[in-house]
Each structure stands twice: as C-alpha cells, then as structure tokens.
Amino acid sequence: MINRMEDVAKMFGLNLGEAFRIADDENNNYSKYYRFSKKYGVETSWDNINWEGFNEKLLQLLMLGKVKIKKLPWKPAVYDEYYYPIPSDRDLWESRLWIGDSYDNIRFSRGLVCKTKEEAIDMAKKMLAVVKDGKNNG
C-alpha cells in the first residue's frame, strides 16, 4: 500500500512533519500542536518537541471542515541559516545560524526572522518606507 500522508499534508497547505494548531469554530482552542506523519497519520504534542500518535478522528474533522488549521510562523531548526532586515545597512539584510540564543528569540518574537534574503530585504524596505512617510507627515 502507498502511504498518502504527504499528499494529505499538502492538501492542507502543510509539509509532512510541519507543526500546526487547530481550533473548532465554537471554542478556538489552540492548546495543542499537531502534525501529519507517515507513521501515525496525525501526531500531537503539548510542547512541539515530544510527539505521540493521535486519534484519527481529527483527520475526519479536518476533511469535513469542522475544525480549522492555524499555521505557525516558520522557525529555523538549530544551525539553519536565517535572514533578518537591517534597514541601516547598505545591503538591507544580514544572516545568521539559528542557535536559539536570546538574539535569535528576540528577532523571532518581533517577527524579524525570514527564510530568504529577499524576504529580509523586502521587510527592511517596508521599515524604511514607514520611517520616510513619518518624516514627511510629521
């Protein structure tokens, strides 16, 4: 038999193993993390670190549209390269390997961690436009 969980994940706009949260329309309960996996179909975690198999009922609820997926922001894995905007630099960006230190986490919490150099440059340009607009109007 062919395992189709990768196709299921893509159908919901996710990659196999990509963590997400769900909420039903009534409660908006986002307490647990979930992910699609080839081994268990759907896995769950309280901390996004320790994963276990989950009741397949969730897959049915997703397919019927009774619960919604809430995608999480991209976060680099340890030693992955990421990019961030530097509006005061000529190149408008810088890169760094994610090690999970305070600098990485501050950038992440402020929404400054980008997958690509182009995303970082675009973000820096938007920052500069806000500053320029503020000076013209202030």
8-26: average pLDDT: 84
Give the 3-state secondary structure of residue 99: coil
Choice between 123 and 27, residue whose per-residue pLDDT is larger = 123
Tens digits of residue pLDDT in 55-93: 667 777 787 777 888 888 889 999 999 999 999 989 999
Q: Which residue has the tokens 């990019």?
A: 83
Which is nearest to 39 in space by CA: 77, 6, 63? 6
- CA–CA dist 30, 131 (Å, integer): 35
17-31, 40-54, 60-74, 79-93 — which is least confidently predicted?
Answer: 17-31
Q: Which residues contact 14 (CB under 8 A, 6 or more apart)?
A: 20, 35, 36, 69, 71
Question: CA-CA distances (angstroms) from residue 45 to 18, 19, 122?
Answer: 12, 9, 34
pLDDT of residue 26: 57
pLDDT of residue 84: 97
pLDDT of residue 56: 67
Quote the percentage of the chain above a pLDDT of 70: 90
Q: Which residues contact 32 (CB under 8 A, 6 or more apart)?
A: 21, 22, 44, 45, 46
Which is nearest to 72 in space by CA: 17, 132, 117? 17
Question: In sequence order, which ranges of the chain are alpha helices (DSSP H)?
Answer: 5-11, 57-63, 102-109, 117-137
Choice between 19 and 136, residue whose per-residue pLDDT is larger = 19
